[in-house]
Amino acid sequence: MVSKDELLRRWERTVERLFRERVIRTEAVRRAFLKYPRYLFVEKRYRDYAHVDEPLPIPAGQTISAPHMVAIMLELAELGPGMTVLEIGTGSGWNAALIAELVKTDVYTIERIPELVEFARRNLEKAGVENVHVIPGDGTEGFPPKAPYDRIIVTAGAPRVPEPLVEQLKPGGKLLIPVGSYHLWQDLLEVVKLPDGSTETKNHGGVAFVPLIGEHGWRG
């Protein structure tokens, strides 16, 4: 197992490469990546590989996304201080920590798998993140108590855009969600809610996420 200093050096090189390649485009996202390295959010046996730009296993047969994919979604989200954000699919808690650093306020994140609820909470606590609220439940239903949201970010692939998530967006709000097949390929969609309640959708191309299970997603 490599030293903490070496883990950090490797991670910094990954972040700088993503920045040079314009995958990370803004200084805010770059700073968030440096503040919360991915190795803080994986099991010990995978820490030596956390700098590699690929998904890694986490408990319950799920994955932590590759750094480039997380960066792409955060840049598309155009997060800013004070925004109300809901994340669907907490997983390791890493993405929620990055979101919290960008919005500087409370972030709500839904996770259906109890083992991952506890895994994410432990990771966030160890990383010193205090403004992320991990909520057990069906993420396809959203989280009405804190709606409406400026941004909803979904980190699992759905068969279609869940209607409750669109309903819980503010006018002008944005939903980022992979939509497509159960395994392998989906399209990363950006759904913007217009002032009249209708939506406008942009397709940002092919991605690969674990399936979004729930009442308005795939059936488990």
Q: Quote the strand ranges of the chain, DSSP E.
A: 56-58, 62-64, 85-88, 107-111, 132-136, 149-154, 169-180, 185-193, 199-208
Which phi and psi (to 5°) does residue 25 adopt?
-105, -25
| Catalytically annotated residue among 65, 92, 181, 198 | 65
Report the C-alpha gap between 177 and 133 in whole angstroms. Answer: 20
- Tokens 């030293």, residue? 3
196, with CB counted inside 10 A (0-12, 13-18, 19+), is: exposed
Report the C-alpha gap between 164 and 212 in whole angstroms. Answer: 14
The tokens of 78 are what? 């155009």
Report the C-alpha gap between 80 and 100 in whole angstroms. Answer: 10
What DSSP line would sit under 30-83, residue for residue?
HHHHHHS-GGGGS-GGGGGGTTSSS-EEETTTEEEPPHHHHHHHHHHHT--TT-
Q: Are 6 and 13 in contact (CB under 8 A)?
A: no
Residue 65 annotated in active site: yes
Residues recognised as catalytic: 65
